[in-house]
Amino acid sequence: MKVFFLTTNIIFWIILLYYTVLTVVGLFQRKKANRLNPLAEYPSLDVLIPSHNEEIVMKDTLSAMAKLEYPGNIQIYVLNDNSQDKTGEITEFFANKYAHIHHIEVPESNEPRGKSRVLNYGLSISDGEYFIVYDADNRPNPDAAIRLMEITMNTENAAGAVGCVRTLNDQNNWLTRFIAIEFKTFQLIMQSGRYALHRIGSLPGTNMLLKRSIITDLGAYDPYALAEDAELTIRLSSKGYVIAVDPHSQTWEQEPQTLKALMKQRTRWLQGNLYIMFKFFKEKNWWKKPCIIHLTYYLTIYVIFGGLLLSSNILFILGLFGFINFNSGINYLFFWFLAYLTYTIQLLCAVWYDKKLSAKNVLAASLMYFTYAQLFIFLLVRGLVLMMKDKRNGTVIWDKTERVAIEK
């Protein structure tokens, strides 16, 4: 028992200190990420928006897309995947108003239903040299696309670039506030830190630009991958391509407002990332950099973190009630408190840098370990069970996140 808790404590601290380094480096990287000089010529660009029953958000989404600033040829494709609501009508209205907005009906096929299939069809009917993917609820800033193109064209061996995702409804309730802080910390700050340290970026599924020829040469999207963005990230990295990061290329999206919707979304993410780990750990070169960095990251976030969190909970309870006495002179409860404090400071650094250091956000960051983070234990178990079930049945299920009307 003593060896178990000691080993767990060491692993936990190694991971925690590494993420602390990412936080510090990410803060400096984000601060110095200035707009690059304009290009002499801007390549043709297609915007792909997979959509299924998106009438609630489509008007706001296409209003934002119409305002994208791009000097080159830009075409916007709404890929309508069998919507049964007014998604098509709304898109047709914008298509009639703007010549570069197109409504595309995605036909049925034998591939699993989901985002990968829709994106592959979008690639088949468009011809831009580069393409950028946005989820159907996204409202990118006007300079989001041009910033991604400029950093891609100025980065050696770049397959594309990613920006960051901001939360539209962060003030709605405590859950959306937790999610907003999570995104600020792990997707915005730490993504910048990983890129600065390892020259590695991860595709976030939206607000990401890619070179068409590279993606098609790789076989396009894996239709069986629920986390198609992470799967494509590893394939690109294994071929030596770079994914550049511009933290100031920003899009805004809504996050789940109920615990039920969040669990549904994150279970899908976890299933997708477990699929990726099973897939790529079978490859003979999985241990080579940068693949091992990506796989370690996904393994840490989606598997090890849940296990360590459970161990930390046990350690905290046993230490609190004085059940741990290994006669080693180690105060395990004190080390648990230091870990909690370090984790919370990371969250607060991201909130502070974003100029959102309000009393509610400080309280939210202080409570996230005890509330929001604990969901990962349940998600890990649920994701593993559902993935095994889908694997036995030979099915792949993709559920989009529930949308609500939000004013920005």
Got the DSSP string for 282-311?
TSTTTTSTTHHHHHHHHHIIIIIHHHHHHH
- Asked whether the beta carbons of 175 and 215 are under 8 A apart, the reply is no
Residue 94 lies in a domain: no
Per the listing, tokens 């974003």 go with 354
The pLDDT assigned to 2 comes to 66
Q: What domain range is 373 assigned to?
A: 1-43+129-392
**Looking at per-residue confidence, does 386 or 350 come out higher?**
350
Residue 308 lies in a domain: yes
Residue 397 lies in a domain: no
Residue 225 lies in a domain: yes
**Looking at per-residue confidence, does 380 or 160 come out higher?**
160
The pLDDT assigned to 19 comes to 86
- Asked whether the beta carbons of 259 and 250 are under 8 A apart, the reply is no
The pLDDT assigned to 319 comes to 65
Nearest in space to 334 (alpha carbons), one of 310, 315, 351: 315
The pLDDT assigned to 274 comes to 80
pLDDT, tens digit (0-9, with 9 covering 90-100), for 339-372: 788 889 999 999 998 889 999 999 999 999 889 9
Q: What is the mean pLDDT of residues 157-168?
A: 94
The pLDDT assigned to 211 comes to 98
The pLDDT assigned to 324 comes to 62
CATH of the domain at 23: 3.90.550
Number of structural domains found in the chain: 1
Residue 178 lies in a domain: yes
Q: What is the mean pLDDT of residues 50-60?
A: 95
Average model confidence (pLDDT) across the chain: 86
Sign of CA dihedral 128, 130, 133, 138: negative
Residue 102 lies in a domain: no
pLDDT, tens digit (0-9, with 9 covering 90-100), for 88-142: 999 999 999 999 999 999 998 877 778 999 999 999 999 999 999 999 999 999 9
DSSP 257: -
pLDDT exceeds cutoff 60 at 326: no
Cβ-based neighbour number of residue 394 at 10 Å: 8
Residue 103 lies in a domain: no
Structure tokens at 399: 């559920």
Task: Report the predicted TM-score, pTM, of the whole model to 2 decimal places.
Answer: 0.87
The pLDDT assigned to 251 comes to 96
Give the whole-number percent of the chain exceeding pLDDT 90. 50
Indicate the burial class of 307 (C-beta count within 10 angstroms; 0-12, 13-18, 19 or more): middle
Nearest in space to 126 (alpha carbons), one of 64, 245, 216: 216
pLDDT, tens digit (0-9, with 9 covering 90-100), for 272-322: 878 887 777 777 776 667 777 777 777 777 777 777 777 777 777 776 666
Which residue pairs, CB below 8 angstroms and at least 24 apart, start in 6-11?
Answer: 6/328, 6/330, 8/308, 8/311, 8/312, 8/315, 9/315, 9/332, 9/335, 11/304, 11/308
pLDDT exceeds cutoff 80 at 14: yes
The pLDDT assigned to 37 comes to 83
